[in-house]
Structure 1
Amino acid sequence: MPKKSKNIEMITGDPKKAIVRLALPMMLSMLLIMLYNIADSIWVAGLGADALAAVGFITPLFMVLVGLGNGIGAGANSLIARFIGAGNIKQANNAGLHGILLAVVVSLIFTIIIETFMVPILQMMGAGSTIQYAMDYSYIIFGFLFIFVYSGVASAIFRSEGDMRRATIAIAVTAVMNIILDPVFIYVLNFGIAGAAWATVISATLSCLVMSYWIWGKKDMFLDLTPKNFNYSTKMITDNLQVAIPSTLESLVFSILAIIINSLLVLAADTTAVAVYTASMRIVQLSMIPLIGLGTAVLTVAGVAYGARNYTNLKTAHSYSIKLGFAISILLGAIMFIFSAQLAAMFSYTEASAQLSPQIAHAISVLSIFVLAIPHGMMSSMLFQGVGKGFYSLLITLLRSLILESVFAYIFCFIFGWGVTGIYAGVVFGCFVGGTVGYIWAKIFISRFKKFAKKETIPQES
């Protein structure tokens, strides 16, 4: 049986096996992405606290940038998976092509907007003395927005048909090349913080070229994305955006949250606290990789199950991913807590950043609990994205992050007087409470799906 048929057979079969087989390569992909993000921070840390803080101010905006590609990719992934589950391969092809069209149009629009308003955005965020570093880094990154958006969409298209091998290879190209190019551009060529941006752009471009060859050069995918299969449909665009917009807005929510947290840190301490939080969150994000991998797998498996109107697979995908997620989180949280000092040392290897080490270690030890608060909420959000209910996912994220995390961070820091530690504790507590609400909502949705599955319309278009 051809390998491409095995991929389809896998995502339409046992949801537990499908989640594991989809998640493991995605975990590797995310690990590589996070490693090169950490590499950016580690190499930039050598330039001093101001440079590292500048990356911290840009990171929320970069999350929006990546969120554009991931959002449109999630929309395409969900729609393609649902069409595959319904047996409509013609429209699965068309959905993939519409995803690429959206990537082109949206990236051009947002490039103009972000580049135009970059300085006032940074001033509003309170970049202060770090603003020149932030500008040197951001103008390059955001100037090549299309590269990152297209990369997210193309990778999602491979995932939607169960082809995790090539999705992983493409990301590996980006990660490995970025890790190699970072020190060259920053220190050897003496480009400073701009060198980190150029290394990221060049690495992502190589990945895009590889994926484009597989799609239009080699042409051995299950999906056929040749232009002849494109049939413009406003409904197709709308269906994609029903997941893409909420997914992208979720990234915006995370970015706004990061801006709020950075502002609270500056009020409670100074910009050094932002540098500390930036470094510690890199480690936290690294520990979240398995959960992101599981969530991405749930999106595809849930989409296929929903398209096929398979209640059992949908329920199993949700509950199994949460159980597995909690088991992994307990292990990773313990590792973060035990080795917090060693992890902090990665960001304090020069005289300019040495004084940050104890603060970073403390932040990591407190935030190690954060990973335990994530699984039930994240898997519920990804299930909603998979079945095309993107706004449900957005509402969960709004409650969990923008409202509860920021509110509890403020209360614990300023009302309870816990200072910077209170901000960390508020983020953890808010995440857990919001995730619990999302979990209950998902359980109610799955229960109702069982009753109405046969009545709902399977996604079809002529």
Structure 2
Amino acid sequence: MNNEDGNDNDIIDDKKINNDIRDDFETEGVSTILGDPKKAILKLSGPMIIAMLITSFYSLIDGIWVAGIGHNALAAIGFIYPIFLMVMGFSQGLGVGATSVISRFIAEGDKTKADNAALHIILLTVILTILSMVSMGLFLHPILEMLGAGVTTEAMNLALSYGNVLFAGSIFIVFTATAYGILLGEGNVKKTTYAMSFGAILNIILDPIFIYVFNWGMAGVGFATVVSLGIVSVIILYWFRGDTYINFSLKYFDFNKDLLKKILAVGMPAGAESIIVAFLEGFLIMILVTVSGTDAVAVYSLGWIVIMIAIVPVLSVTDSVVPVVGASFGAGRYEDLEIIQNYSIKIGTLIAIMSALITFILAPYIAGLFTYSPETVGLHSLITDFLRIMTLFCIFIPAGYVSLSIFQGLGKGLYSFILNLVSQLIFIVIFAYILAIPIGMGQYGVWWGIIFGNIIGSTIGFIWSKLYIKNIIASKNRENKVF
């Protein structure tokens, strides 16, 4: 009995020490994710909306500048996009793993493990960077051939010119994505906002200089991205030397396989989800090339940039769900999970409806931004139709994406992966293929296939996550009755 009592007292003392350490280092962000979940979602998502909107607008402006080169340049962006998604997606997957694990350690009051987790994530960042640079150096051309870029020599050359520069700077793509995840894990949304916004604005400034002043063409688009992310990386490294809750000092590094497994348990499935999205984009592009040629790819890639801007506020809300869920779960406040789910879906859906209405009304004017040159003017009506049809896609995004974020916050990355697999690669691809080719709707069939597949996938995700949360709460109630 004495030994058992002693062990219990040791555990209590350890928890008290950890809590004291957390209190000593607690920042505004840490206080946010440990507080009221509704306020936390609003407080985290607000600045993120600004940062992600600025980042998305830089993609939009990228498209506007590239449109001046010609329609094959626009198609080149579309061909590179699914490949970029794979690199960026795995990077963001590690970032999600960072957010989930670090927020749970913070909620448990263990700063030492939180710091060590961040250093393990940096180790994974270096490994992923090496893999990305080697694989893209060897296989970029054959992948582009498979996607259909070889239909025209000009489109292939432009895609290679852009992609070779972009992927040569993989270290900055990977590091910034994982660093954002670490910052979000500690609730440090302000610094995340500053970094993302500065990088996007710098990219916007550098684009016309590198493309037209230096006359680097599509290579200039890649250089603008790499240089801007490189400068942001230096700033973030400076912050982590003492201006954040998490510290990057190597003295806190203690290699731990179990810790690595915890990060990868969320990060790998989240990263693998990017492969699903990349394959989805690849399949859709191949269908589009088959039914309507490279112009259909240009319409899709440009229109998708605009749709991503429209859903940015929704994605900001869903991204904020991961650390809030992680903190609530780590602190044992399981009842808050239902509050987080219901509130974030409600807020996200209201925002999505407003974004969809604005996009529908402004569609022809937005299309005009990309069709100012003689080579692209013929795409105006198609881009307008795409934007108006895809507003339906926006409305059903919140339920599905909140479900993914809940599973990631709980450390159930595999569930999130399965949900994405079913929604993206099964439903969307099947509907897009059937409507576009057998039924003969062409590129319009691809657009409607995306909408129908997303509706079904979001519905499944909502029901699954709802039942899972109820099961967690029921299990806690049963344990309370036993004790």
Pair in the same fold by TM > 0.5: yes
Alignment correspondent of 2:457 = 434
If you compute each CA radius of gyration, which structure gives the higher value, 1 or 2? 2
Is residue 335 of structure 1 aligned with residue 351 of structure 2? no
Corresponding residue of 2:175: 150
Alignment map for 1:259-338 (pairs within 5 Å): 259-338=282-361
Q: Name 1:255's counterpart in structure 2.
A: 278
What residue in structure 2 maps to residue 459 of structure 1?
Answer: none
- Indicate yes or no: 2:434 matched with 1:373: no
Q: Distance in 2 between matches of 1:5 and 1:214?
A: 14
User: How far off is 1:338 after superposition?
Assistant: 1.2
**Residues 365 and 119 of structure 1: CA distance in aligned 2, closer, same or farther (over 3 Å):** same
Give 3-state SS (helix, strand or coil) of 2:220's partner. helix
Partners of 2:88 and 2:186 lie apart in 1 by 22
State which drifts further: 414-423 or 199-208. 414-423
1:27 aligns with one of 49, 52, 70: 49
Cross-structure match for 2:213: 188
Which deviations, in whole Å up to 9, do the C-alpha atoms of 1:392-444 show, x marking residues without a partner? Answer: 11111111111101111112222333222121111001001011101111011
In structure 2, the residue matched to 1:60 is 82
Higher mean alpha-carbon deviation, 312-321 vs 118-127, is at 312-321
Q: Which moved more, 1:52-61 or 1:6-15?
A: 6-15
Distance (Å, rounded) in 2 between the aligned partners of 1:163 and 1:4: 11
In structure 1, give the amino acid aligned to 2:257.
T
Q: Which runs of structure 1 show a deviation greater than 4 angstroms over 4 or more consecutive aligned residues?
A: 1-4, 453-456
Tell me which amino acid in the other structure corresponds to 1:289. V
Bigger drift between 377-386 and 223-232 goes to: 223-232
Q: What does the per-residue CA deviation read over 1:149-196, in whole Å, with 9 as the maximum and x for residues that have no partner? A: 110111111111111111111111110010000011001111001100
User: Shift of residue 295 of structure 1?
Assistant: 1.2
Counterpart CA distance in 1 for 2:351 and 2:400 is: 15
The Cα offsets for residues 76-98 of structure 1, whole Å up to 9 and x where unpaired, read as 11000111112222111111111
The aligned residue for residue 460 of structure 1 is none
Whole-angstrom distance in 2 between the partners of 1:270 and 1:240: 42
Question: Structure 1 CA distance, aligned partners of 2:351 and 2:232?
Answer: 29
> Residue 49 in 1 paired to residue 74 in 2?
no
Distance in 2 separating the partners of 1:285 and 1:230: 38
The residue aligned with 2:32 is 10
In the alignment, residue 164 of structure 2 is paired with which amino acid? Answer: Y
Tell me the equivalent position of 2:14.
none
Q: Report what 1:164 is aligned to.
A: 189
Deviates more, 1:427-436 or 1:223-232: 223-232
Structure 2: 5+ residue stretches without partners: 1-22
Identify the residue that residue 141 of structure 1 maps to in structure 2. 166
1:71 maps to 2:93: yes
Decide which of 114, 117, 140 is 1:118's aligned counterpart.
140
Residue 385 of structure 2: which of 346, 353, 362 is its match?
Answer: 362
User: How far did residue 454 of structure 1 move?
Assistant: 8.0
| Residue of structure 2 aligned with 1:205, choices 222, 225, 230 | 230
Partner SS, residue 117 of structure 1: helix
TM (norm. structure 1) is 0.96
Kept in 2, the 8 Å contact 1:47–1:352? The answer is no
The corresponding residue for 2:246 is 223
Structure 1 runs not aligned, ≥5 long: 457-462
- Alignment root-mean-square deviation, CA: 1.5
TM-score (norm 2): 0.92
2:118 is matched with: 96
In structure 2, the residue matched to 1:237 is 260
* Number of the residue aligned with 1:81: 103
Contact between 1:115 and 1:139, CA under 8 Å: does it hold in 2?
A: yes
Partner of 1:420: 443
How far is 1:2 from its partner? Answer: 9.2
1:438/1:363 CA distance change after superposition, 3 Å: same
Is the contact made by 1:4 and 1:163 (CA closer than 8 Å) also made in structure 2?
Answer: no
- Residue number in structure 2 paired with 1:179: 204
2:265–2:412 CA contact under 8 A, matched in 1: yes
> In structure 2, how many angstroms separate the alpha carbons of the residues matched to 1:422 and 1:109?
36
| Cα deviation 1:285-310 (Å, max 9, x = unaligned) | 11110111011100010011111121
